[in-house]
Amino acid sequence: MHIMEGYLPLIWCIFWYAVSAPFIVYGVWRLKKVVNEHPESKPMLAVAGAFAFVLSSLKMPSVTGSCSHPTGTGFGAIIFGPGITSVISIIVLLYQALLLAHGGITTLGANVFSMGIAGPFVAYLAYKTLRGIAGFNIAVFAAATLGDLATYVTTSIQLALAFPAPVGGIMRSFLGFSCIFAITQVPLALIEGLVTMLLLRYLLALKPDVFSAFHISDKSKLAEA
Q: Which of 80, 113, 174, 177 binds other proteins (CB under 8 A)?
A: 177
Largest CA distance in the chain: 56
Q: Which of 36, 133, 166, 224 binds other proteins (CB under 8 A)?
A: 166
Closest C-alpha among 79, 30, 46 to residue 216: 79
At closest approach, how far in Å is the CB of 9 from other proteins? 8
Q: How far apart are CA 72 and CA 53, in angstroms?
A: 7
Q: Does 198 bind other proteins (CB under 8 A)?
A: yes
Who contacts 52 (Cβ-Cβ below 8 Å, separation ≥6)?
A: 71, 72, 73, 75, 76, 85, 88, 89, 92
Q: Which of 100, 133, 220, 224 binds other proteins (CB under 8 A)?
A: 100
Q: How far apart are CA 61 and CA 187, in angstroms?
A: 9
CB 114 within 8 A of CB 9: no
Q: Does 53 bind other proteins (CB under 8 A)?
A: yes
Q: Which is nearer to other proteins, 23 or 76 (CB)?
A: 76
Q: Please name every residue paired with 60 in a beta bridge, in sequence order, or none if there are none.
A: 68
Closest C-alpha among 92, 196, 212 to residue 145: 196
Who contacts 61 (Cβ-Cβ below 8 Å, separation ≥6)?
A: 67
Q: Which of 78, 126, 130, 195 binds other proteins (CB under 8 A)?
A: 195
Q: Which is nearer to other proteins, 4 or 213 (CB)?
A: 4
Q: Does 217 bind other proteins (CB under 8 A)?
A: no
Q: Which of 62, 213, 216, 225 binds other proteins (CB under 8 A)?
A: 62
Q: Does 14 bind other proteins (CB under 8 A)?
A: no
Q: Does 184 bind other proteins (CB under 8 A)?
A: yes
Q: Does 108 bind other proteins (CB under 8 A)?
A: no
Q: Does 51 bind other proteins (CB under 8 A)?
A: yes
Q: Does 96 bind other proteins (CB under 8 A)?
A: yes
